[in-house]
Structures are given as structure tokens and as C-alpha cells.
Amino acid sequence: MKQPKKNVTVNPLRLSQPSGAALAFLGIKGCIPLWHGVQGCTAFAKILFIQHFREPMPFQTTALTQTSVVMGGEENIFEAVENIKKDARCLGILTTGVAETNGADMERMAREISRKFPGLPTAVVNTPDFEGTLETGWVKACRSALASFAKKRAMPRKLQCAVFAGPYVTPGEVEWISDAIVMYGLRSVIFPDLGDSLYGRLLKNDYYACASGGTTLEEIATLADSAFVISIGSSMKEIAGKFADGSGIPAEHFEHLSDVREIDRFFTLLGEKSGIEAPMKIVRQREHLMDAMLDAQFYFHGRTACVAGDHDFIKRWGAAMEGIGAKALRFSSIQDGECPFGDLENFKGFAEANGADLLIGNSHVADLADETGRAVVRAGIPVYDRFGETQSVRIGYEGLAKLYMDCANALMERPPLRAVPYKSTLQETLR
Amino acid sequence: MNLSAIRELYKEPDCSHNAKKEADACPRPTPGKAAGGCSFDGAYISLGPIADCAHVVHGPSGCIANTWNNRGSLSSGPSLFRTAFTTDLDNNDVVFGGEKKLFKAVRKIIDKHRPPAVFVYQTCVTAMIGDDIDALCKAVSEKTGTPVIPVDSPGFTGTKNFGNRLAGDAVLRHVIGTMEPATPHPFNVNLIGEFNIAGELWAMLPYFDELGIRLICSLSGDARYHQVAMMHRAQVNMMVCSRALLNVARSMKEKYGTPYFEGSFYGADNTSRALIKIAELMGDPALLGKTKQLCEREKERIAPSLENLRARLAGKKVLLYTGGVKSWSIVGALQELGMTVIATGTRKSTEEDKERIRGLMGDDATMISEGNPRKLLEVFRKQNADILMAGGRNQYTALKARIPFVDVNQERHLPFTGFNGHVRLAGAVADAIENPVFAMTREPSPFGGI
Ligand code: SF4
């Protein structure tokens, strides 16, 4: 898909690559995401995530200045690590556009850090903001963390399932996946585990300088001992596959858990691996979903839903919309195969040109929907003008039913084809 | 209204329910088998959409509480009709009579809302305790100068259909002929039984404007009181898709000599036929020519979209279950799309409707007179139908059976009238049939259960 080159982006849809990497590091317990860049980049991302997750964000920055940039900036990294090492179990260092432009050699930095700070496991990742998006940053950080923290397969754990989750699986959904696996008598290790760290819980300590929850380093060390690997979200397919191959264990990939067949496959897999029949609860939830879909499908007939965001996100929502008979049009934040892409201004034109009835995307997309009187469902990142996005579960039978109710309600609130009142001029002459 | 007056109304001479059997035109509901509303419901539904009026239900709150504001009849202006006024009788009123309460209620409404008129509906309980709403309405009218129209419609007098007639009787007696248009116009029409569901009237009005035909009143979708009062000035009455208010058309023919015909705006062919018929009855060759041209133009305009939809719908089988005139008007609209209507409901249809159905569907047309869900499903399965089209009441019958469904009664949200409406109807049917949910829900669950 080609897009005429624009010299100015109007209201970006894309979130930056370093923010994705930082978010992934927050899914590792005790990790401090250290931004190698100017403090502004960190601050912006921090505000964005605080508004979205409604949680403090333990981001640190190497706080490059004009002078340190000239000097290469390496000293800033050592100084930062020196200052935060007491608070961290491990570090995730990610670069920004400034550091990259400056030619930071992160591989060498990693070696230096492990020499200087032997007790502090550190993963580094190159994530210039001038390319990629939140999703690609997430994947890069995951790859780096696996390379740095995971261990070779040692003691097989028959009941352990390793789950590699993409960035658009909400903390609530991560918890749901974990519960589902446990329901089958299996043990789950989710990597990265945003559920444990960002679901929003009040804890004993009143201040955490690092990720307060997430996959522990010990758990990451046992990932290779798992009986099988599940990946969710197409962004995670490749890393999960490679990791499973390297460890000699089977892997099963799910593009999303937002359509009936994928969910069926998910529970069938858990049934096979555990030898347990589907719990009554699951059977009933599926029955409910079927009923809910039949009830709600009217609202989707002939309707067009435009979904805007990163690849995983538009894929899962597109599938959900098609599953109930709506026309789904995906709009990517970055160039992505045949998919149309661009900023929010482009998306606005795209939605208009296609007569969109329903927009699906983050709070910026919601503003756009309000502006043009279209129905909207908020999802993705950031959602700052609603509560509950972090905890929302729109996967699985029950979650999918909820998703359809949300969308149907949105469409009901703004009926797309409501007749326009017509006043007859001739009839007016009666009085 | 006394008993003999009610009996008179039962005999609707122009209603072909009556043609064959010499019995009352509106059969008595069968206990244990009755599914429709009461005659109060029918009366309220018929007049309730008159948008600028206040509609007061004289009775216990139960009568109105369950029905108000749930129909899709839309207004382009006033919304007073959407407010449910009821005298909400209590024990005390039942013992001592509710007249005083009604009197006060109507006065208060007039003071506060200044409507051009108030309709007062009688219900079972207030009829039983002997409240005389005729006299009372007259008294309030005289006191306030605002017309207050009694609609004597206690539920126990009969079915919903009969209630429609009671409503017609009320406007005939008290409203029609009481006002005159400010300016004369050569061509005037009334649409009787058009309820502007989902804006269906609005889909037709531009054509009337274009042709220079003035709509005096649509009884009663998006209607105003003065329009009802001026109905006698129309040269033509069209009964739209419903025989419910037939007594209005018939009486107007007797009283004012206004010719009437039954037509429908469902389907491009039906729409053309109806518009041309109106022009014919106006008796003006120039108007007729213009109308024919308009119909040709519109048909040509929608032809490409219809062609597309026809390709998706050809050979698909519909089970249509809807009452009265719709049973034939929609059959025609669907056949225009290349669909086969395997059976149609005739619960509320007359002999004449049935004749037309035979004309459209052939002599062995399956007619379902009793629409219980089991019977519907049985016919559906036996005939291998693709879609059920019926009223909202049967929506969940269809869905529980994983059958595509389109609502053709008042609960729907899309206007299906006119040329664009035909495209919309076709689109709705095609979308419903093709929705992947049906195929998916018919597949067995991998985990047992359904
Ligand atoms: S049957 Fe009588 S009491 Fe019941 S809703 Fe109708 S009018 Fe009211």
C-alpha cells in the first residue's frame, strides 16, 4: 500500500518504539526501564502511560544534555545505572532517537555494564523513535530480555505453559489467560506479565522504584523448561516460535483470541495438554456468546467498522468485527503490507471515504469520532478519557460477548442510518 | 359509547373479513390462544403518533406503562406525543370514580403544554366504574377552548384491530372536518395508516412535493392536529399497507365523496403503482404523465444497486409472517428481488388480501393463519427457507433457532418505503442471510453442549 509522502504528520496515530520497549520491561518484576535519551522523551511517555494505566511509571532516563551528547553519552548511562542499581532487580535499557543519532553502541554498553555491575542483569535494545511503533519496540525488548535473562532447558516442567503475549493484550486479559490455564490444572508463566504489574492493585509498599510485578527473573529462567509455548498476537509469533524451537518444545500460535474459532482452538489445546474436559463454566460461556452474537448481529449488518492502530490491534478487532458480519477496515499506524496507513488526519479521510459507522481505537480516535458524529469504541493505547480499559477483557467467549455488547451499544447510541426528518413545503401551506 | 354503537362498529361493511361470512368483521380473541394487544392498545397506537397533541390514558398505570414510546413512529417537530400521560387510578378512584381526577389532569396538561388538542383514552377499569369520558371531555373543552377528544377504547371490547377502528371512529366524529386549509391547492391526498415508522413517510414526501401533490395528513405518523382536522379536503385517500383505519376511508367516501384505494410503498413496483393510482384518481392527465415519468426515472436510478442485490438474493427463500396488507405488499417487493416467498402469514389478512396473495404466489401458496413459533419453525424447516421476516415478537423465535431474521413491523429502524427503501430492504435481507453468525452458531461446539 502506497501513501503519498507527507511532510507533516497531523495528530499521530503511531506511538513510539521506545515506549513499547519500556512497557515490555515493565512486565518483568523488579525491572527499571532506563531510557537512553533526553529526559523529555521519557517524561512524555511517562505521562501517556500514567494516564492510560492510572499507575505510577518507574521510568528512568540517562538525561542526555547538549554536552553529554557531544561526549557520546556513555558516561550518562554508567552514572544512571550507578544511581538506580539499588532499586532494581534488573535493567532494561532502551535507546531513543537522540541516542541512536548519536550512534550509541548498545552491545558494547551491555558488556561494560555486566563487567562494572556484575549483580545487575541487564537487557539492552535499540529502539529509535524514527522507525517502528509501540509494537515493534515491545517485540525488540522481549527478544533482548529473552536473550539476556532466559536459560537453556534444564528441568522439564510437565505442567508449565509459557505464554508470550503481545502489547495489545490488556493487563486484564493477561490475568484472564492465566486463570484459564490454571482452570485446566496447568501452570502458566506469562512473558511479559503486564497483568501482574499494571492491572492496578494496592500493594503493601507505598513506593516502587521498579516494576512492582511481572514475570520474575526466576520464571524467565524456567521458560525453556515449559511443556509448551503459546503465543498471542502476530507480533509474538516469530520470537515464540524461535524460542520453542531452540528449546525443543512445541509452540502454538494464536493471532488473537477475539473470534470463536481461535477461542475454540485455545480451549481445545488446553484440554489436550491437560487431559481435562472443558469445565462447565467454559461450555456455558460459549453458549452465551452464541446467543449474544445472534442477538447483537442486527446492529452490524451492512455496517462498516474502521479500526486504527498497530498491527496486532487492528488484526484482533478486525477479526472480531468480521465474525459478527460487519465490514472491517483496518488502518495501520505504520506501513504494513497492503494495509492503508498514516496519521489520524489520514484516518479521518479514510473513515469518511469508506462511510465508517463505527470507529475503534484509542482516545484520539474517539475524539475524531465525536467530531464526526460516528459511533466509537475505545480500546488500545492510550485510553485516557475512560476508566477500566486496563482491566477490560475482550477475549475468550465471555470477553467477546462483552465486546459485541459494547460495539452494539455504541452503534445504538449513534444510529448510523437514522432517517432525516423531511418537512414538506406543500404541507406547510395548510396553515 | 353504548353497546349498540360498538356493535355497529364491529360491522365494517367495506372490510372483506366480512365479505364471506356474515359475522362481525373483527373476530373475538380465543382465550389461551390470543397473542395480540387489546383494543385500547390498537386505538392508542393509531392516534398516539399525532405529534403535537397530548395523549392521556384514563386508567390504571398498567395500561400505558407497558406500551408507551416503544414504537418507531417519528416526528419532525413536536415531541409531546412521546410523553405518556395517565390518570394512574388508585383504589380510591376505583371506588369513587376517576372523573374528577381526569378533569384535573386534562386541565393541567392544557395549562402546562398548551397542545392544540388532547386525546383521552378510555380503558377497561374506567369503563367498568362508569366514568363518562364523553361528557367530561366536552366539559373540559368548553371550559378551556381546547378540543378534548374522547377515544372510547376499553381493552375488553376486542382486539387491537378493533381498537384501530375505535380510533378512526373518534377522529371521524370529533376531528375531521373541523378546520379548513389556509390556502387552496389543486391536488391533495391523505395517507391513512402511514405511521412514519423509522421515517418511512419522509422517504415518500419528497416525491409528493416534486409532483405538486399536497399531503394533507398522514394518519397518523408525524401528523399534527390541524392536518387531521383538514383531512376532508383531500381528493384522494390512500390506505397504506393497512386496513386498520379502513372505517375512516369508507366514511369519508360516504360523507365527502373522497375516493380511496389500498396501496403500498414497499417495493419499487408497488410504489410506482401507488403513486400512479393517486395521480389517476386526481383526474389530471398532466399530473399523471409527470408521475409516470418520475417513477421511470427512479426505477432507472436504483436499477444498478438492485441488480447487485438481486444477484445475492436470487433463489433465496423467505418465510414471511406479518399481518394484513403487508402480507401481500411485501411479497411483491421480495419477488421483485428474485426471491421466493414460500409462505406468508395471514392472521390479520382479509379474503381480499388472500386473493392477492394467491395471485402473487400461486394457488398452492402456503398461508399460515396461526403464528405460533412452533408452527413457524416447522414450516421454515420443511420448506428449507433462508430467512424469516416477521414482527419483533418473533425475533427471538428466529434467533434461538439460528435463523436469519428481518423485522418488517414497527420495531424496525430502517425505512423500507419507496425506491431507496426497496434497495434498503433488499440490503437488509441480503446482509441478514449472509451474516456469518448463523452458520457458525449452527456448528456443534467442540465441547459438547450446543
Ligand atoms: S385490556 Fe384493558 S386493562 Fe388491559 S391494557 Fe387493555 S385497556 Fe388496559
DSSP codes, A17-31: HHHHHHHHHTTBTTE
**Per-residue pLDDT at A262 exceeds 80:** yes
Identify all chain A residues contacting B208, using CB atoms and an 8 Å cutoff. 424, 426
Residue A223 C-alpha cell reads as 521458560
Closest CA to B213 of B232, B185, B171: B185
Residue A59 C-alpha cell reads as 521510568
Q: How confident is the model at residue A41 (pLDDT cuts 50, 70, 90)?
A: confident
Cis previous bond, B220, omega within 30: yes
Domain for residue A431, yes or no?
no
> Among the listed ranges A305-309, B41-45, B146-150, which one has the minimum average pLDDT value?
B41-45
State the sign of the Cα–Cα–Cα–Cα dihedral B310, B312, B317, B319: negative
High-pLDDT (> 70) share of chain B, %: 86
Cβ pair A323, A305 in contact under 8 A = no
Query: Taking CA atoms, what residue in B is nearest to A285?
Result: B449
B361-407 pLDDT per residue, tens = 777 667 777 667 888 888 899 989 999 998 777 888 889 999 999 88
Give residue B78's identity as a one-letter amino acid code: P
Q: Where is B52: in which H helix or E strand?
A: none
Boundary-marking domain end, from A80, A115, A148: A148
Rounded Cα distance, A340 and A335, in Å: 7
Whole-number pLDDT of residue B367: 76
B58-86 pLDDT per residue, tens = 988 878 776 655 567 899 999 899 888 88
Inspect the interface and report whether the beta carbons of B215 and A426 lie closer than 8 Å. Answer: yes
Domain for residue A429, yes or no?
no
- State whether A257 and A311 are in the same domain: no
Q: Where is B261: in which H helix or E strand?
A: strand B260-263
Domain for residue A130, yes or no?
yes
Inspect the interface and report whether the beta carbons of A429 and B435 lie closer than 8 Å. Answer: no
- State whether A184 and A114 are in the same domain: no
- State whether A255 and A336 are in the same domain: no
Whole-number pLDDT of residue B330: 85
Q: Where are the domains of chain B?
A: 3-160, 188-297, 303-441
Tell which atom from ligand 1 comes closest to the C-alpha of B125: 3
**Per-residue pLDDT at A3 exceeds 60:** no
- State whether A294 and A268 are in the same domain: no
- State whether A144 and A52 are in the same domain: yes
Domain of residue A43 covers 17-148
In 3-state terms, what secondary structure has residue B323?
coil
CATH 3.40.50.1980 fits B3-160, yes or no: yes
- State whether A228 and A191 are in the same domain: yes
High-pLDDT (> 70) share of chain A, %: 97
- State whether A177 and A238 are in the same domain: yes
Q: How confident is the model at residue B22 (pLDDT cuts 50, 70, 90)?
A: very low
The mean pLDDT value for A253-271 works out to 97
Domain for residue A430, yes or no?
no
Q: Crossing angle of helices A39-53/A17-25, nearest 10°?
A: 60
CATH 3.40.50.12380 fits B188-297, yes or no: yes
Query: Taking CA atoms, what residue in A is nearest to B415?
Result: A419
Whole-number pLDDT of residue B331: 86
CATH number of the structural domain B303-441: 3.40.50.12380
Whole-number pLDDT of residue B392: 76
**Per-residue pLDDT at B32 exceeds 90:** no
B3-160 shares its CATH topology with B303-441: yes
- State whether A34 and A118 are in the same domain: yes
Split into its structural domains, chain A has a count of 3
Per-residue DSSP letters for A366-412? HHHHHHHT-EEEE-SS---SSS-TTT---SHHHHHHHHHHHHHHHHH
- State whether A162 and A138 are in the same domain: no
Inspect the interface and report whether the beta carbons of A267 and B209 lie closer than 8 Å. Answer: no
Domain for residue A2, yes or no?
no
The mean pLDDT value for B136-140 works out to 94
Q: CA of A187: how far to CAs of A10, A153, A162, A194, A247, in Å? A: 46, 17, 9, 17, 18
Residue A188 C-alpha cell reads as 502458566
Q: How confident is the model at residue B23 (pLDDT cuts 50, 70, 90)?
A: very low
Nearest CA to ligand 1 atom 7: B155
**Per-residue pLDDT at A276 exceeds 60:** yes
The mean pLDDT value for A204-211 works out to 87
- State whether A136 and A87 are in the same domain: yes
B188-227 pLDDT per residue, tens = 999 999 999 889 999 999 999 999 999 999 999 999 999 9
Boundary-marking domain end, from A224, A250, A278: A278
Q: How confident is the model at residue B318 (pLDDT cuts 50, 70, 90)?
A: very high
Domain for residue A1, yes or no?
no
Whole-number pLDDT of residue B19: 47
Rounded Cα distance, B356 and B329, in Å: 9
B352-363 pLDDT per residue, tens = 777 777 777 777
- State whether A169 and A213 are in the same domain: yes
Tell which atom from ligand 1 comes closest to the C-alpha of B40: 7
Q: Assign residue A413 the CATH number of its domain.
A: 3.40.50.1980
Rounded Cα distance, B70 and B189, in Å: 28
- State whether A140 and A91 are in the same domain: yes
> Among the listed ranges A167-176, B32-41, B284-293, which one has the minimum average pLDDT value?
B32-41
Domain for residue A424, yes or no?
no
The mean pLDDT value for B169-185 works out to 97
A402 to chain B, closest Cα gap in Å: 16
Whole-number pLDDT of residue B12: 67
pTM for this entry: 0.83
Q: What is the average pLDDT score of chain B?
A: 87
Residue from the list A287, A297, A417 with its beta carbon closest to the beta carbon of B449 = A287
Is any Cβ of chain A less than 8 angstroms from the Cβ of B234? no
In 3-state terms, what secondary structure has residue B389?
strand
Domain for residue A405, yes or no?
yes
Whole-number pLDDT of residue B34: 53
**Per-residue pLDDT at B33 exceeds 60:** no
